[in-house]
Amino acid sequence: MLTVAVVGGAGYIGGELLRLVLGHPGLTLAATTSRRLAGRRLDSTHPNLRGVTDLTFISPDQLARYDVLLLATGHTETMHSMPDMMRRAGVVIDLSADFRLTDPAQYWRYYQVEHAHPELVSSFVAGLPELHRKRLAEADRISVPGCMATAAILALQPLAEAELITGLVTVDARTGSSGSGAAANAANVHAERSGAMRVFAPAGHRHEAEISQSIGGRPVSMTATGVEAVRGVQVLCRVPVSAGITERDLRIRYREFYRDEPFVRVVTTRTGLYRLPEPKILTGTNYCDVGFAVDEANQQVIAVAALDNLVKGGAGNALQCLNIRFGLPERTGLDFIGLHPV
């Protein structure tokens, strides 16, 4: 059994990490940290864990040595503690944004701070199994992409690898309220959030850089909107493509590209209620559904993807990377297939 500690276990991503680690047959949850909640039971914050564990939160300075550290601490905060974290585990899997971008100048552009440890960035492997499985099998430092970035990258990758993209990719992303985190603020109280469709990033969203980096440096412009859902991400990517691309061509390409992927499904049908990827039916699962439509008149493809932002967009992706790193079957601990109706 591998010993695992979750650093930053009080938030929504931290809670999903705890749920998944506790349900994983090859892992032992040894500790989880929260400065604010140190000494309190995990189920005082995560009520779904009642009867599953008697663990309490500890302070980060009480961490010992573990096989794996899963970091769910904040953007621009995690980089400062990374040298210490790397001394506490053989494998570190980071879910913050601090080691996702390979170019420190891009980090400054999107986060407005200098990177505290740029010398460590190149030692991290991007935690996206569909693109980096071989490298993840030997990686001791893994950086999991953002939720909307993961959806967009998986929607776009079959087009990018075939060099079909001919210009600026525009990404229209929608996300549920859990993407804002567990901390209360004026923007996410019920009276303000309920019924709203709030465009919180009309341009320049930080995931632009991650998406562009993963699709070969092609230019990306991204808009993000908060919608009335708790979980879920859906992205629509408008992609200028080479002339003559047909729906049949894309169907063959997408199915071939994701043929052997356990957690990516190609969804594009002409009948039924769920003709393109829909996040509602992916709640709690580690799936990312991808699909597409062809706009022949404007010579573009609309690539669509959906996922649960807390699972395939975060904690589930981290566990999938952990499974690969330690030679475990990728589906281990991640086999929940969702509910319908929800």
DSSP 8-state secondary structure symbol assigned to residue 145? P
CA dist 269 and 263 (Å) reads 19
CA dist 57 and 311 (Å) reads 22
Whether 263 contacts 338, CB under 8 Å: no
Question: 295: which strand partners?
Answer: 300
Residue 147 is among the residues annotated as catalytic for this protein = yes
Q: Name the token pair of 84.
A: 């210490």
CB atoms inside a 10 Å sphere around CB 248: 9
CA dist 190 and 188 (Å) reads 6
Task: Quote the radius of gyration of the chain (alpha carbons, Å).
Answer: 20
**For residue 114, what are the CA distances in angstroms to 103, 118, 330?**
11, 9, 36
Task: Tell me, rounded to whole angstroms, the distance of Cα 265 from its chain centroid.
Answer: 16
CA dist 5 and 66 (Å) reads 7
- What is the set of active-site residues? 147
